[in-house]
A and B are shown apart, each in its own frame.
Chain A
Amino acid sequence: MPQNNRDYLTIKSTGTAVIALLGMLASLLTACGGPPWNNPNPQYDDDLITYQSIMSPLPPKHLDPATSYASDESLFIQQIYEPPMDYHFLKRPYELIPLALESFPQLTFLDAEGNEVAEEDESVAFTRYTLRVREDERYQPHPAFALDAAGEPLYLFDSAAEGEKYQQIPDFPETGSRAVHANDFVYAIKRLADPDIASPMLGFMAHYIVGMEEFSEELGKVPRDGWLDLDDYSMAGLQVLDERTFTITIKNRYPQFMYWLAMTFFAPIAPEVDRFYHNPGFAERNLTLDWWPVGAGPFMVVKNDPNSEIVLERNPNFRPDFYPTEGAPGDLEAGLLDDAGKRIPFVDRAVYRLEKEVMPLWTKFLQGFYDRSGESHGNTNRVYDQAFVVGPDGLEMSGELKDHGITMSPDVKPAIYYYGFNMRDPVVGGYTEDKRKLRQALQIAFNTEEYLNIFYNGNGLPANNPVPPGIPGFLEGEAGINPYVYDWVDGEPVRKSLDYARQLLAEAGYPNGRDARTGEPLKIFIDVQSQAISNTQMNWMDRIFDKLGVQVEYRPADWNRTREKLLTGNTQIYSHGWLADYPDPENFLFLLYGPESPLLCNCDGANNSNYASEEFDQAFRKIRLLPPGPERDEQVALAVEQYRRDAVWLFAYNPKDVYLNNSWVHNNKRHGVSKGTLKYTRVDPDLRARKQVEWNQPVTWPLYAGAGVLIALILPGVIAYRRRQKATARAAGES
């Protein structure tokens, strides 16, 4: 029957097609060349040493040093820009060193009339910083510096149509460069004050830099049409002395200003670069300083696709720079000084690929396609779950990690997360002895160690002190414990007993957790940020406060609503955190400084507890002005003691991240403050290539098994179909 034959052929050919399809798939995969087939990284045809890394979970929003203020953005711009100062890569406590400057800034103290006075003189009204730029500091190659034969900028257009063929910076055929000038630093500070740029630093820095506020107001009134040359306007606190020297004058004394000079807000911006990016039509193609930064640092952006990857390459104009020859104790033994004195950077290219989910990130790291497990976010909890197992001797690295020779870089951040009491709250706030006792009882009951072990795998340090480890003012051992919460027993801090907490609670007027006057149970209200807390954490807190008979009610809200409550003081206990801008106790103790209360300053103040202690504030004011030394340490200790005695925060801890490094990555010491450490990273690309092949041999049997299963599914169908087609209306033998 011709019809049936055709059908048979159709089915047969379908089966053959399936097999052919699978064969094609196999050959397609084989066409990838040798293993690894699963390599997700682009292959480059050159011999440049590439560092394969991650941006996670989101790409940076801003790469303009005037607006960027997030650690995942610092990961890029600190490799590209060189601010005046930096931190020593290895030394701890953190130590400032000149970066774009020839030497440390020179300080001059002035009185109200502008006369020079001694540092300790009470009449000091201004501090002038004189900064001298390095002679060998040069910008990366960039079309903004390209000049025509007449010495005029090559790429300045009158209309959008003229420049529309340039979609990205690498599309410009001509580039140029020049030395960094003192005026570029001045120009960058003026940009901070430009209301059109909306720098987050404007409000804060305007309190310090002379004339910044007025300058900002003046610019706000200037009508804009394209680029505004900020060199046409002057700021009283900025002065260019010569091509390489400039001064910044700030109000009063503010020693911490030196730390601000290590932030990219103060990195130089060439006016011609700013002008270049104001070409008509550029912003519509995302050709902006926010996406294509231009600096004099060791690396430059050559590809910026925030949707998938950002690629940096070595800046060919980068000045000679060398790996440090000194480090902290233990660095030599850890091999961190093996490259001492060698020219940096070691890598030629750094590729940061966007990873939003942890599983692909972790898998690629284990397969050897990423050099480290993370950069600015350790994803510690999730990584920890997969990276460590409980062995006979406690926690140990999983076998998979041991076999791969992976090393670990723990990173205790100069940060603090805390739950604070609102000191103006009628129930838990106040400064009377009974209120202190109430808060201390709650502090004792909140077992921070247990909390960190359960919810963060122990990755955090209970904070006895607002000042975190690594920062002057932090004390170890018995001297470092909070004596209101801990006892020092056998060389270890031991949390005071719950019985003692109950006693304090009773003395505060709440025997067994009930108000002695009304008999009502004590109920506390905790404002939590809904994304930052889980039901399990809330259940745990219910349980621990229940031991004192205290009831808890949670008021979850998003960050904006929480912020509103903090600004209006409409909270009882709130959660908050602080990541240091600079490694100085002042940057943490100001979280408790009276005038920083949002209710007093009518601003977004940092003292969300509305803590008001004259003793603390006095000590803080001295800390702000004193240079590092014993006298300052004494004031820090005084302030900390006051904070402990008043029991201002319910609990606090310093977060700890764990970063893992593949065996071919060297110089892995984490720097808690600076992210500009890519130049110190060294990778062994040959070892990486060998390991990638070794660890990624494709398993092909599932392909054949899949083909087998498909045939097994189709074949009975074919047979049954054929049988049915051949069947007669009557069964065989039926007459």
Chain B
Amino acid sequence: MLAYIIRRLLYAIPILIGVNLLTFTLFFVVNSPDDMAASQLGAKYVTPEAIENWKRKNGYDKPLFVNDDASGIASLTDTIFYTKSLKLFAFDFGRSESGRDITSDVSTRMWPSLAVALPSFAIGIWVNICVALMVVMFRGTALDRWAVFVFVSLMSISYLFYIIGGQYLVAKQWMLVPISGFDPDFKPWKFLLLPVLVSVISGVGSGARWYRTLFLEEAGQDYVRTARAKGASEISILFKHILPNAMIPILTGIVVLIPSLFMGSLLIESFFGIPGLGSYMLDAIRSQDFAIVRTMVFIGSILYIIGLILTDISYTWADPRVRLN
């Protein structure tokens, strides 16, 4: 397995370079260093000298890919692409356009993201699986049909509606929790209740429906009939037989997401004022802060690749027949 993991990690390098190159090219196609300087300097008294100074200070006064003025390897290393993008491979994220250290910001903001994403993820999966199993228990009945109707209805509602509706009812009308905010030192759980609740409820429709489909497929298998014939209870059949056998598609969907939990959620964090990495990314896009955007895309790519590797590994745990070669 170790050889497999090493091989997969080596495959990741060209993928990451490709992602990096693509992000870099796309960003600079729409946004030249001059544009970035003008955006950061504001709309007043932006002289050509000020733009040049800003570019020099922030290292954008070099050519993009090839420096014809330099010789040897320096013609490739003394470029914006090398200094700004390839350095990411050494986890040197540099500074944001406003001068803040990105590594420091990422390590600080990661925790609020996790504080929301982890419970939302764990509780969400637990609730979805339980609801799906309950519905499967009553398959073919009116309850099952109603449940599918409710799932589809829940799926059809915009995520924003859950957020705004939740804020309006729970925080504004009922005044049970703060409408937004986060304070790690001051009862952080009370800021997390509502975003976690909203995340879980908004995911029930699609999640439970998907798991129901998986469980129904398993429920028709011979081993289930055998278990039932041997007198096993429904609860036992669902949790001890159907659930483990449906784990492969479940793991495919969820394990890949686990590392990405660090990245947070753009909407939840923005609306609930959670100072995590999701809102960090959103702010960076708004303010055209390429340094942060490229870092977040890079981290996102790495986490996604790690997620895929973890998924493969989890298959061996869920199904002993699987071998990683």
Cβ-closest chain B residue relative to A360: B180
- B269 to chain A minimum Cβ distance, whole angstroms, is 9
Residues A286 and B100 in contact in the complex (CB < 8 Å), given A363-B167, A698-B176: yes
Cβ-closest chain A residue relative to B103: A284
- Chain A residues lying within 8 Å of B138, measured Cβ to Cβ, are 717, 720
Distance, CA A259 to CA B271, complexed state (A): 40
- Chain A residues lying within 8 Å of B156, measured Cβ to Cβ, are none
Q: Tell me which of B44, B105, B182, B270 contacts A356 (CB under 8 A).
A: B270
Residues A58 and B179 in contact in the complex (CB < 8 Å), given A42-B186, A290-B99: no
Contact A604 B46 (CB under 8 A): yes
Contact A38 B179 (CB under 8 A): yes
Contact A3 B231 (CB under 8 A): yes
Distance, CA A224 to CA B67, complexed state (A): 23
- A219 to chain B minimum Cβ distance, whole angstroms, is 11
Distance, CA A306 to CA B38, complexed state (A): 23
Q: Give the number of residues in B that approach A within 8 Å (Cβ atoms).
A: 75
Residues A307 and B275 in contact in the complex (CB < 8 Å), given A10-B235, A200-B44, A283-B101: yes
Residues A699 and B173 in contact in the complex (CB < 8 Å), given A42-B185, A198-B54, A721-B137: yes
Contact B175 A560 (CB under 8 A): no
Q: Give the number of residues in A that approach B within 8 Å (Cβ atoms).
A: 72
**Interface membership of B57, Cβ < 8 A:** yes
Cβ-closest chain A residue relative to B48: A603
**Interface membership of B212, Cβ < 8 A:** no
- Chain B residues lying within 8 Å of A203, measured Cβ to Cβ, are 45-47, 49-50
A248-297 interface (Cβ within 8 A of B): 283-286, 288, 290-291
- Chain B residues lying within 8 Å of A35, measured Cβ to Cβ, are 175
Contact A291 B100 (CB under 8 A): yes
Distance, CA A274 to CA B224, complexed state (A): 74
**Interface membership of B177, Cβ < 8 A:** yes
Contact B47 A703 (CB under 8 A): no
Q: Tell me which of B38, B109, B174, B231 contacts A563 (CB under 8 A).
A: B38
A627-663 interface (Cβ within 8 A of B): none
- Chain B residues lying within 8 Å of A11, measured Cβ to Cβ, are 235
**Interface membership of A691, Cβ < 8 A:** no
Contact B273 A560 (CB under 8 A): no
Distance, CA A367 to CA B179, complexed state (A): 10
**Interface membership of B108, Cβ < 8 A:** yes
B164-217 interface (Cβ within 8 A of A): 164, 167-183, 185-187, 189-191, 193
Q: Tell me which of B167, B189, B279 contacts A360 (CB under 8 A).
A: B167
- B104 to chain A minimum Cβ distance, whole angstroms, is 6
Contact B176 A363 (CB under 8 A): no
Distance, CA A720 to CA B139, complexed state (A): 13
Distance, CA A342 to CA B273, complexed state (A): 38
**Interface membership of A123, Cβ < 8 A:** no
**Interface membership of A696, Cβ < 8 A:** yes
- B227 to chain A minimum Cβ distance, whole angstroms, is 12
Distance, CA A28 to CA B279, complexed state (A): 28
- A73 to chain B minimum Cβ distance, whole angstroms, is 10
Residues A703 and B176 in contact in the complex (CB < 8 Å), given A69-B44, A203-B49, A724-B234: yes
- A279 to chain B minimum Cβ distance, whole angstroms, is 14
- A590 to chain B minimum Cβ distance, whole angstroms, is 11
- Chain A residues lying within 8 Å of B168, measured Cβ to Cβ, are 359
**Interface membership of B39, Cβ < 8 A:** yes
Distance, CA A310 to CA B84, complexed state (A): 30
- A576 to chain B minimum Cβ distance, whole angstroms, is 9
Distance, CA A293 to CA B176, complexed state (A): 38
Contact A40 B42 (CB under 8 A): no
Cβ-closest chain A residue relative to B164: A359
**Interface membership of A36, Cβ < 8 A:** yes
Cβ-closest chain A residue relative to B283: A58
Which of B35, B99, B164, B185 has most chain A Cβ within 10 Å?
B99
Give the top 8 A-B pairs by smallest Cβ distance, nearest first. Answer: A203-B47, A307-B275, A40-B178, A360-B180, A40-B181, A61-B98, A560-B35, A699-B174
A-B contact pairs, 12 of them (CB 8 A): A3-B233, A11-B235, A32-B190, A200-B45, A204-B47, A286-B105, A355-B180, A357-B270, A363-B167, A367-B172, A563-B38, A700-B176
Q: List residues of chain A with CB under 8 Å of any chain B CB.
A: 3-4, 6-7, 10-11, 25, 28-29, 32, 35-40, 42-43, 58, 61-62, 69-70, 195-204, 283-286, 288, 290-291, 305-308, 353-357, 359-360, 363-364, 367, 559-560, 563, 581, 603-604, 696-700, 702-703, 717, 720-721, 724-725
